[in-house]
Structure 1
Amino acid sequence: MPETNLIARYFPFFLFLISASSFSQVNLTHFPEDMQLFTRNDSDTAFVSVSGELQSDEYSQAVVKLYEEKKLFSTYPKTISQEQNFDFSIPIRAQMKEYAFELWLYNGADSVLIKRAEKVICGDAFILYGQSNAVSYAQYWVLNDSISKKFTRNYIHYFSETHENDGWHDGTYPEIGTLGKRFCLDYTRKLKIPILIINGAVGGVSLSYLMHREESDPESLNTTYGLLLKRTLKSSVDRIRGFIFFQGESEANASAEAVKEYPLLFDLFKQNVEKDFPSIDRFYVFQVGIMNSHALWEAAELREYKRSLSTLYNNISVIPATGIVWWDYDGLHYSFKGYNILAERLFDSFLAFEKGKEKDHTPDLKKLVDEKVKHRLKLIFNQEVYVPDSVDFGYYVNYMKHHFYAGRDWGFIDSLETVGNSIYLYYNRLPSNQLTYLPGFYVDPMGRPYGGPFIRNLTGTPALTFYNVAIEDQLPNPVIDSSYYLSGLIHFDINNTPVLDCHNCTLEVSQLTSNGQIPLASFNSNTTSVDFREADYNSLNETSTLVFKYVNQVSESDQVIIGIGGKSVKDTDFDAIPDGVDNCPLTSNPGQTDFDKDGLGDACDDDDDDDGIADADDNCLLRKNPEQPELLIEDGYLVTSNIPGKQYHWVVNGAYSETTNDNLYIVRNTGEYAVYITDELGCESKTSEPLQVSILAIERDFEIEVYPVPFSDRLNFKTDMAVSKAELIGMSGKIMKSFNLQNGQSYISTKSLLAGSYIFRLIDAKGKPVLSQKVTKSE
């Protein structure tokens, strides 16, 4: 055998001998692993440890080489002698870059590579735990094409003895799930920070199962908790940016006792997690959705406990899991789109906390006040909110007023209105002194779960549901006995008799301007006089208007508006807003609501949401309806809308034809075609301008049968005529599969095709389409 062939044959063995010899000279205690993620500190830096002990006096220097994106970035040398320890702490930055580490030993000109680690990154670590909605396997593979394999990580440690897949993997690993993968996608794209997610969720299990912990061995692989802890500790991360917890459906389906035990179990679970796991910045807990099968009314009580977590603990953010329509939520699990929506809320909640704006992220009820004189309840939220009167699903109309409960009683609310951060519920009676928003469980006339309406903020995030919240009496209004203005001094005398017994009450004073209210000062409710000097307030002068209001933690009074020095204040529409600052001076608009921020109050604005659809014709008054679509034609017989929607309502020759969920309509006859679309809340666009389509009808005296419907891995067709080609066209009009047919072939294989709707087209030997039919592939 030629010498060169011998070298080639045994070269790997020579490398093995060199590597084995090198390792025998060093006992390494710390060295990064391939693909390892190191967690960043508050300075966006991680320190990577390389340490060990030299076993030979052959080498006198240890050198760590750091590579950034495969280019040598820095070199760290250290002089050593036999049996001497060496320890390096190498800083790396949290950025969208990969690092590599090499440890070399030197003695003069001689050197040997001891070990190398590649694809090391610096970023943030998250844990995802809970039951099936945390597992979230709905079409998770769809995200694999867009998720970054380079800058996302998962760490595996299995129950099995072989552990052959243990260690580091990228974020396309299946068990991260749809929720976790979408969170990874947002994190890397929007923050430009690498991310690790360890998902230890298990479907269909209770909190007691997930929290079960062996006291003598918390890392025991005999428990789900121990496995999650083992994986986390073996990954060597020293900081968990967020512990994401999505669980509670089991208890909501179990018993009232399971719901009542939940708070004690959760508190113990949280204590153990904080004791066993690396430092956790914050917990992100999902408030479960409204289920529609085998659920309990006490499920609402469980949601209320979840709502209270941000008050009970200073390191928990609560994320709503409601507000998703029934076609993306089946009453227990969510669709691919549903999990994407939840992941977006999770990311937004994380970002809000990071920016110090967590209180502004999710709408949450803060006060519930009974204004008895006006026969209405005032629901005060932590931010501006909006709620539609109803949602029309076609087969029934669901009204918001029907989903406020006293106990399980409903129907006592006649109407509602939204003013800024308050919702007013006008009642005909009050069955109790407690109020619940949204039912414990719900089944609509078609057996579907609750799909709306929902209270939302102006960005669409739904409010947390609440249960049996105490209704508080309204506080007495401030009484101003007298006032005067003298040489820049503004003085008010206050009669404090009505609030002598008011618990923890304060008097808030603000200035009313055309841009809203400017807070000036707060006083104890026992105050009998207040003074303001113009010199202390840039905006105050003798023509200013002040607003007085008593507040405490659970209630508040009406606002009392006073002109300085007892001067009269003109209020043409009697809405307690002076004409000089009223955005609807001739029409009562007490909350000064201005949804589209155009300076014209909603009460006198013909188009409150500024979407081009007049309020009189707008089925979503305070939500922008979709834009008016334009129709496009493809291949002479496929009509598409240029604006995406949830549903497409097709009009043929001026008359309604049908509604589809697909952005595609097959034209069968010459005529005039139009469409209007609706979004996920049922908000309608204007109807498109009509499009005249001429099509040459296909004359044929044969039948074509396509089956089964829906199909799975094979689609069959039966025809007596000769066909040469079959195509499956996606709803975007793109050809997804094309098949050249053999003589007599009567089926096509569709195993690699994703579930969904398609157009099945058959083409004859002359290249002429002879069939275009909509078909659906099942899951």
Structure 2
Amino acid sequence: MKFLLVLRMSLYILCLHVYCHAQVSFTDLPEDLQLFPRDTHNKAIVNFAGVIEPSDYRKISIYVKKDDAFFYHKASPYRTHYSQPFPFQFQVEIYAQPHEYNFRVYVHNPAGDSIEVCRRDRILCGDFYVLYGQSNIIASSGIEELYLNFDDRLFRNFDYDNNDHQLSSLKWFSGGQPYGHVGGIGMHLQKLILQKYGIPTCMINGGKGGLAIPQLNDRIEGNPGAFWTIYGQLYNRVKYANALGKVKGVLWRHGESEACGNWVEADNYPAHFASLYNHLKTDFGGWNNFYFIQLAIHGCNYSEKAGELRGYMRKTKYLFEGLETSTALGIPVVDGFHHSKEGNQQLTSEVFGMIERDTYGAPHNIELHPPDIQKVYYSAAEKTLTLEFEQGQRMHYPADTIVDSRLWQMKDYFFVNCTTNSNSYLVEQGTAQGNKIILKLKSEITGGFLTYLPSYSRLDPPRQEVHLTNGKGLRAMAFYQFPIKNKLITPTIDSVKYVTEGQLKLFFNHSDTTIIERRQSNENGFSVIAEVSGGTYTDNLITDNLEKIHYRIRKVNAVSESDYSLVEDLTLSDCKNTLLRLSGNIHTNATKKSRKIESTQKIRAYTRYVFKDKVELKAGFETTNNATFEVSTSGCNN
């Protein structure tokens, strides 16, 4: 078969028809280096469509390679009317795998020659991510080192070929081009996803250094793609990459501008962020998840506004659907504002833990998320503050440490009813217990608030060497002026009663919510069996071969909780086979015209149950006066 080389023309993305050959026009075809978003079946459709103009070409065919190996071939039917246009379409399935696809389209003349009329190379299937914010999302520290031995063959960027930001300059690039545009965080995230899951990615980084949030949210109503706006420039990249509604995740890293002096915008940050978030979600068509990275501690201005802003960032997880939070706290700041290459890679790896859980099916684990404060409550009797984090977090309280001849003690970075500049140093010591941190105070307090970590640093470069962490070493989210509530009163179990075989009933105070835990005689520890709002609970269980059942309870509400009650035991051997048989007479009261059962035995002596010696019979009960009866009941002798 003879192959004739035919001049090709590049695809211009705004044209309705695209010509690769004088007698073949394309209405749809991909671009070189393009990445197609994968669907739920881990694949995408690459479409080639167009028309063969009137000519003597017999048919048209497509030939596809995956890397250098044959992958797919298909030919159209033979033409029957050469004087009429001949429409054609090829839809080729490609897969989200570490492979590039190369396409060749041929027309075939009556002599049997195959003439190449179009080629498209290095096409991928994979995932899209959007990065937005200030210079720390660009993360250019050590970028030169990142490019050493950096293989971007399976990574993509869709960006402007020049700085005019016109649609005509949008173009597909390998991940390393234009130089530095994907940034250190984007480059490392691409590597992590490819190494672990084998999926190529396109990172669209719209970060702009030094800009406050209104400048990044300069969207024009009715024209989100206005090319002269920063928002529009990002939106157009997502739109013309065919990624609208297909973005797997958005990483947002911002706040340095507001923390370092733009205090008006710091006050307005919640409103500005809500507006930006809603614009992005509407215009982008949603995403798997939005990852908000909490601001690190800086030393650019000694203002409480930075701590307040950091506190708001922590709370966004609870304010916006589909948003997760992470933190840059503890990632070293090397020049007052930015992190080192290693720091950016650490931060990316931490966020990746949540990304792979949300997008790639990794197991769910609460400790993939930095510990986040849920409750703070005070015990006057013990002079302690209890900091409660999410269930499942294994909290760690750091030991004192010396770094560069400076002593760092965690207790110095809790601010009880005070600010960074007026620390009362009220915390004497701290310990970790499960998902809680217990702070022993030097003196009593009456309510108020607690802040974890200073609003700013006076060191140059700013640093914070001790943090609360979880079992995976992730540093807790900073919180600002979190309200302190009083610890709930320790409850008591009033009684545990044997109802029948396999059924026990607990009685307790009904205030607040009660968490009930049980330990059977063949178990080593207690486990939660119920959470109830009333004052009783009936426990249904198999009691065979059990000697004792142990119960304990604690009270919880939205802002506090109690200690555990004392353990209440029930010895089941005292309850089984304890059958009391009672007899007596049915007696008619002539005055009240009612019948009663009157027992000839005193039941109260046998059981903790409250039985009555007499009981009114229901209406309609008929029998003769003084008829005898026998009833039986069982209970616990203890």
8 A Cα contact 1:205 1:250, kept in partner: yes
Measure, in 2, the Cα distance between the counterparts of 1:97 and 1:121: 7
8 Å Cα contact 1:548/1:559 also seen in 2: yes
Question: Does 1:139 pair with 2:142?
Answer: yes
User: Which of the residues 184, 190, 194 maps onto 1:188?
Assistant: 194
Q: CA deviation at 1:64?
A: 2.5
Which residue of structure 2 lines up, in the alignment, with residue 430 of structure 1?
445
Of 82, 93, 96, which residue of structure 2 is paired with 1:94? Answer: 96
The match for 1:380 is 388
Q: Which has the higher contact order (CA 8 A, sep 6+)?
A: 2
State which of 411, 414, 428 in structure 2 corresponds to 1:404: 414
Alignment of 1:315-394 (within 5 A): 315-325=322-332, 328-354=333-359, 355=362, 357=364, 359-362=366-369, 363-382=371-390, 383-394=393-404
Match of 2:152 in 1: 149
Name the SS for the 1:457 alignment partner. coil
Post-superposition offset of 1:293:
1.8
Question: How far is the alpha carbon of 1:161 from its aligned partner?
Answer: 7.5
Amino acid at match of 2:287: I
- Note closer, same or farther for the CA distance 1:511–1:365 as it changes in structure 2 (3 Å cut): farther
Shift of 1:324: 2.5
Q: Which residue of 1 aligns with 2:612?
A: none
Per the alignment, residue 451 of structure 1 pairs with 464
Whole-Å separation in 2 of the counterparts to 1:18 and 1:241: 33
Greater Cα shift, 526-535 or 310-319 = 526-535
1:118 to 121, 129, 137: 121
- Of residues 501, 524, 529 in structure 2, which corresponds to 1:520? 529
What does residue range 741-760 of structure 1 map to in structure 2 within 5 Å? none
Q: CA deviation at 1:118?
A: 0.9
2:614 matched to which residue of 1?
A: none
Q: Cα 1:484–1:329, aligned 2, differ >3 Å: closer, same or farther?
A: farther
SS in 1 for 2:21: helix
For residues 361 and 386 of structure 1, what CA distance do their matches in structure 2 show?
15
In the other structure, the counterpart of 1:49 is 47
> Once the two structures are superposed, what CA deviation does each residue of 1:568-606 show, in whole Å capped at 9, x if it has no partner?
xxxxxxxxxxxxxxxxxxxxxxxxxxxxxxxxxxxxxxx
Query: Which deviates further from its counterpart, 171-180 or 353-362?
Result: 353-362
- Contact kept? 2:496, 2:570, Cα under 8 Å: yes
C-alpha deviation, 1:356, in angstroms: 5.9
Q: CA deviation at 1:560?
A: 2.3
Q: CA deviation at 1:395?
A: 2.4
Q: What's the TM-score once normalised by structure 1's chain length?
A: 0.65
Q: Which amino acid aligns with 2:502?
A: L
Q: Which residue of 1 aligns with 2:269?
A: 262
TM-aligned CA deviation for residue 411 of structure 1: 0.9
Aligned to 2:582: none
Residue aligning to 1:533: 541
CA distance in structure 2 between the partners assigned to 1:164 and 1:437 by the alignment? 50
Residue 271 of structure 1 and its aligned partner are, at CA, apart by 1.5
Change (3 A) 1:515 1:330: farther
Determine the C-alpha separation between the residues in 1 that align with 2:297 and 2:96: 39
Mapping of 1:556-635 within 5 angstroms? 556-565=561-570
Q: Compare 552-561 and 434-443 and name the one that shifted more.
A: 552-561
In structure 1, C-alpha distance between the alignment counterparts of 2:365 and 2:319, rounded to whole Å = 15
Deviations 1:35-61 (CA, angstroms, capped at 9, x unpaired): 111111122111112222332253353
> Are the aligned partners of 1:39 and 1:123 in contact in 2 as well (CA < 8 Å)?
yes
Distance 1:18 1:127, change over 3 A: closer
2: CA distance between counterparts of 1:21 and 1:278? 32
CA distance in 2, matches of 1:399, 1:490: 52
SS of the residue corresponding to residue 185 of structure 1 reads helix
1:171 aligned to 2:175?
A: yes
Q: Residue deviations 1:458-503, cap 9 Å, x none?
A: 1111111111111122223332122245775353442316x1xx3x
Alignment of 1:729-744 (within 5 A): none
Distance 2:90 2:8 in 1: 27
Kindly tell me: are residues 225 and 18 of structure 1, through their superposed partners in 2, closer, same or farther at Cα, counting changes over 3 Å? closer
Aligned residue in 1 for 2:431: 417
**Could you tell me whether the CA contact under 8 Å between 1:319 and 1:349 is conserved in 2?**
no
CA distance in 2, matches of 1:399, 1:118: 58
CA distance in 2, matches of 1:225, 1:353: 26
Q: Which AA in structure 2 matches 1:44?
A: N
* Structure 1 letter corresponding to 2:174: D
Q: Which residue of 2 aligns with 1:16?
A: 7
What residue number does 1:469 align with?
482
Deviation at 1:172, TM superposition (A): 2.1
Q: What is the aligned counterpart of 1:204 among 210, 235, 254?
A: 210
The aligned counterpart of 1:61 is: 59
Superposed displacement of residue 66, structure 1: 2.2
- Matched residue SS, 1:299: helix
Q: In the aligned structure 2, how far is the partner of 1:162 from the partner of 1:249? A: 29
Alignment partner of 2:145: what SS?
A: helix
Distance in 1 of aligned mates of 2:322 and 2:65: 37
Query: Could you tell which deviates more after superposition, 80-89 or 458-467?
Result: 80-89
CA-CA distance at 1:121 after TM superposition: 1.0
Q: Deviations over 1:272-307 (max 9, x none)?
A: 112222542211111010111225212111111111
Displacement after TM superposition at 1:164 (Å):
9.6
Q: 1:231 to 1:313 in 2, by over 3 A?
A: same
How far, CA to CA, are the matches of 1:457 and 1:330 in structure 2?
Answer: 28
Looking at structure 1, the residues matched to 542 and 243 of structure 2 have their Cα atoms a distance apart, in angstroms, of: 57
Q: CA deviation at 1:414?
A: 1.1
Structure 2, unpaired ranges of 5+:
11-17, 573-638
SS class of match (2:303):
coil
CA 1:519–1:66 in structure 2 vs 1: closer, same or farther (change >3 Å)?
farther
- The aligned residue for residue 600 of structure 2 is none
Cα distance in 1 for partners of 2:307, 2:540 equals 48
Which residue of the partner structure matches residue 628 of structure 2?
none
Alpha-carbon separation, structure 1, partners of 2:271 and 2:468: 30
Equivalent position of 1:103 in the other structure: 105
Distance 1:201 1:22, change over 3 A: closer
Please state if 1:304 is matched with 2:302. Answer: no
Aligned partner of 1:65: which letter? Y
Number of residue-to-residue matches in the alignment? 543
The structural deviation recorded for 1:421 is 0.9
Note if contact 1:402-1:410 (Cα within 8 Å) is conserved in structure 2. no
CA 1:359–1:161 in 2, change beyond 3 Å: closer, same or farther?
closer
Distance 1:70 1:17, change over 3 A: closer
Q: CA deviation at 1:359?
A: 3.6
Percentage identity across paired residues of the two chains = 26
Q: Which amino acid in structure 2 is aligned with residue 153 of structure 1? A: R
Q: Relative to structure 1, is the Cα distance of residues 529 and 138 closer, same or farther in structure 2, using a 3 angstrom cutoff?
A: closer
Unpaired segments ≥5 residues, structure 1: 1-10, 568-779
Judging changes above 3 Å, is the alpha-carbon distance between structure 1 residues 317 and 22 closer, same or farther for their aligned structure 2 residues? closer
Letter of the 1:384 counterpart: R
Instruction: Give secondary structure in 2 for the equivalent of 1:368.
Output: strand
Deviation at 1:197, TM superposition (A): 0.6
Change in Cα spacing, 1:91 to 1:528, as seen in structure 2 (3 Å) is same
* Alpha-carbon separation, structure 1, partners of 2:8 and 2:89: 26
In the alignment, is the contact (CA less than 8 A) between 2:19 and 2:26 conserved in 1? no
SS in 2 for 1:138: coil
SS at 1:175 equivalent: coil
The one-letter code sitting in structure 2 at the alignment partner of 1:349 is M
Q: Closer, same or farther in 2 for the Cα pair 1:561/1:431, shift >3 Å?
A: closer
The 8 Å contact of residues 290 and 322 in structure 1, kept in 2 or not, is answered as: yes
Q: CA deviation at 1:508?
A: 3.2
